[in-house]
């Protein structure tokens, strides 16, 4: 019984850490643009917090409706050039966050770094 209880506690702490790990500041690589991912009741979102691009709208929503699904996160990513939301899947890889954007018949994976 102790083993089962210990395993359950360990498993729940791993799950909680995985869900919290994507929060923070991420450099998305475009013109040194940085976003801040936050969590509210298990739903994640992000806003642009800084950028070297004069056209970037600081404070604008970049990610929305992101939820944990089996070790990765699924939600929507905003493309300002097309003024459109796309499906995105986020996966952690060390200190990087891999963002795979699905645009119909094409997809692209972007590498974001923490900080």
Per-residue pLDDT of the chain (115 residues; tens, 9 = 90+): 444 333 333 334 344 444 447 999 999 987 999 999 999 999 999 999 999 999 999 999 999 999 999 889 999 999 998 999 999 999 999 889 999 999 888 899 999 999 8
Q: Which domains does the chain have, with CATH numbers?
A: 2-114 (2.40.128.520)
Q: How many CB atoms lie within 10 A of CB 86?
A: 15
What pTM does this model have?
A: 0.78
Q: What are phi and psi of 95, to 5 degrees?
A: -95, 15
> Of 65, 30, 64, whose CA–CA distance to 50 is shortest?
30
pLDDT of residue 65: 98
pLDDT of residue 96: 94
């Amino acid at each position: 019984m102790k083993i089962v209880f210990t395993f359950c506690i360990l498993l729940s702490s791993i799950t909680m850490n995985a869900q919290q790990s994507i929060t923070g500041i991420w450099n998305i690589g475009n013109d040194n643009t940085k976003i801040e991912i936050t969590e509210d009741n298990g739903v994640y979102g992000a806003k642009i917090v800084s950028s070297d691009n004069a056209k970037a709208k600081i404070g604008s929503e970049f990610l929305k409706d992101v939820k944990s699904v089996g070790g990765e996160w699924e939600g929507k990513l905003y493309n300002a050039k097309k003024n459109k939301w796309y499906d995105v899947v986020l996966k952690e890889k060390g200190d990087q966050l891999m963002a795979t954007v699905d645009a119909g018949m094409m997809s692209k994976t972007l590498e974001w770094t923490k900080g």
